[in-house]
Amino acid sequence: MTDYNLPQEILKFKGIFDMDLLYRSMRDWLTRRGYYFEEPVYKNKPNPMGGVEDEITWNCWRKETDYMKFWINIFIHTQEFNTIEVIKDGKKKKMNKARLAIYFNAKVETDYQHRWDKTPFLIWLNNIYEKYIIKPEMDNIYTDKLYYYVLKLHNIAKECLGMEAKGSEYEDVW
Amino acid sequence: MAEREKIVDELRLKYEGLFDVNELYLTMDKWFREKQYDKRELKNIEYVKPEGKFIELWIMPWKKITDYAKIEIKIRIQMFDIKEVEVEKDKHKVKLNQGRIQMVFDGYLTTDYENKWEGKPTYVFLRTIFDKFIYKGYTARFQSQVAEDVNHIHTTIKSFLNLYRF
């Protein structure tokens, strides 16, 4: 079993946004793409500086092939989180004001069924398989595909937050 | 470990005035896509402040030139006091941003990125000989390609920002 880790993506924002929209949009994107969605951590605590502090961890995975599994792990951290009322297009709307940080980590896990780690010979064979046979596909297809998936999710978060540096010319990749 | 050589060291660009943040971002994205770079966005920070938005971006697109060498361009962008303004252009009202930008460009040539020559000290020695003497012409060509690409994106952004001056 080997993990191919991809570079971490960091998104930070301070201002007014709709947390509910952000949460739903990101979760819907993941579930629509066939990711199994787990939320092992949801911490909510009052902050002495004011507002509420939230820590949310998502572990999402999808079986890409019988041998490979895609993992997208997301950590959402909000500080000074407050609910405020704003007037948008002449209507009152509840929004949130906070400092937000989202960390995107992704990896490709191989041999997730542990079929190749039963005997020393299978481990050796798996090593050969990963180093010489499947390496080009791993570098050029699978890790690349997962990275562009993460970028798409990253872009959805930016759209929900109404950030200025958003959009992508790579939308049609994968 | 792969060897990373810095070819372009902190090429800077400063601008103050009108521009469109999103258009600037997409112009860079488009340039990298056209030049067959893979996208890598390390950081995207945006803070809304009373004096205007503060935006910080760290992008590091990369491109494999051969199985042995790849180019990485690191761009650090900081934007200060970004406000939304409405200007009249050709009798039409257009929404733009006003503020200050600072950009720093670095260009790297990374060789042996698959760490094929790192197993033994003999390999490292052979690789250095190979890079410095046998493969010298190719290495020089790769280095000039890094410099050329960094200068090209720098000029593209400069021209893009100059468009808003007139």
Taking only the tens place, the pLDDT of each residue in B44-81 is 999 999 999 999 999 999 999 998 899 999 999 999 99
d(CA A58, CA A76): 8
Contacts of A151 in chain B (CB under 8 A): 39, 41
- The answer, for B26 touching chain A at a CB cutoff of 8 Å, is yes
Task: Return the pLDDT at B124.
Answer: 83
The shortest CB-CB distance from B25 to any of A14, A167, A170 is to: A167
Tell whether A9 is within 8 A of chain B (Cβ): yes
C-alpha triplet B77, A167, A64: angle, nearest 5°:
110
Task: Choose the closest CB to B46 out of A9, A13, A168.
Answer: A13
A134-152 pLDDT, tens digit per residue, is: 988 998 899 999 999 999 9
The reported pLDDT for the residue numbered B136 is: 85
Q: Find the distance separating the first CA and the last CA of chain B, reported in whole Å.
A: 49
Measured between alpha carbons, how far is residue B89 from residues A119, B27, B30, B94, B159 in Å?
Answer: 72, 20, 24, 7, 19
Which of B46, B62, B72, B116 has the most A C-beta neighbours within 10 Å, making it the best mutation to test the interface with A? B46
The residue among B28, B33, B41 with the most chain A CBs within 10 A of its CB, best to mutate, is: B41
- Mean per-residue pLDDT over chain A, rounded: 92
Report the C-alpha gap between B7 and B106 in whole angstroms: 8
Rg (chain A; Cα; Å)? 20
Give the one of A7, A14, A168 whose C-beta lies nearest to B29's C-beta.
A168
Task: Supply the mean pLDDT for chain B.
Answer: 91
Instruction: Select the residue from A144, A163, A164, A174 to test the B interface by mutation, using most B Cβ atoms within 10 A.
Output: A164
The DSSP-derived string for A18-78 is: -HHHHHHHHHHHHHHTT-EEEEEEEEEEE-TTSSEEEEEEEEEEEE-SSSEEEEEEEEEEE
What is the C-alpha separation between A18 and B30, in angstroms, rounded?
A: 29
Residue A16, min C-alpha distance to chain B (Å): 8
**A9-15 average pLDDT score:** 95
Chain A residues with beta carbon closer than 8 angstroms to that of B53: 15, 164
Distance from CA of B75 to the nearest CA of A (A): 14
Contact assignment for B48 to A163 by CB distance below 8 Å: no
d(CA A32, CA A36): 10
Calculated CA dihedral for residues B159, A11, A93, A57, nearest 10 degrees: 160
Interchain pair A170, B39: CB under 8 A: yes
Tens-digit pLDDT profile for residues A38-67:
999 999 999 887 889 999 999 999 999 999
The percent of residues above 90 in pLDDT, for chain B, comes to 68
Q: pLDDT digit string (tens) for A92-119?
A: 889 999 999 999 999 999 999 999 988 9
Integer-rounded Cα Rg, in Å, for chain B is 20
End-to-end CA gap in chain A? 25
* Sign of the dihedral through C-alpha A162, B30, B59, A144: positive
Residues of A in contact with B59 (CB under 8 A): none
The predicted structure's pLDDT at residue B47: 95
Question: If you count DSSP H runs as helices and E runs as strands, how many of each does chain A have, helices first?
Answer: 4, 6
CB contact at 8 A, B150 and B61: no
User: Could you tell me whether strands B62-64 and B52-59 are parallel, antiparallel, or unpaired per DSSP bridges?
Assistant: unpaired
Cβ-Cβ contacts under 8 Å, A158 against chain B:
44
CA distance A158 to chain B (A): 9
> Which residue from A72, A7, A75 is spatially nearest to A35, judged by alpha carbons?
A72
Q: What's residue A81's pLDDT?
A: 92
pLDDT band at A91, cuts 50/70/90? confident
Which residue is it, tokens 């002449």? A90
Nearest-5° angle of CA B16, CA B54, CA B150? 60
Q: Bigger pLDDT: B72 or B135?
A: B72
Q: How confident is the model at residue B166 (pLDDT cuts 50, 70, 90)?
A: low
Query: In whole angstroms, how far apart are CA B61 and each of A4, B30, B73?
Result: 19, 12, 6
Taking only the tens place, the pLDDT of each residue in B138-157 is 889 999 999 999 999 999 99
Entry pTM = 0.89
Helix ranges (DSSP H) in chain B = 21-34, 121-129, 136-162
For residue B113, is pLDDT > 90?
Answer: no
B119 pLDDT higher than 80: no
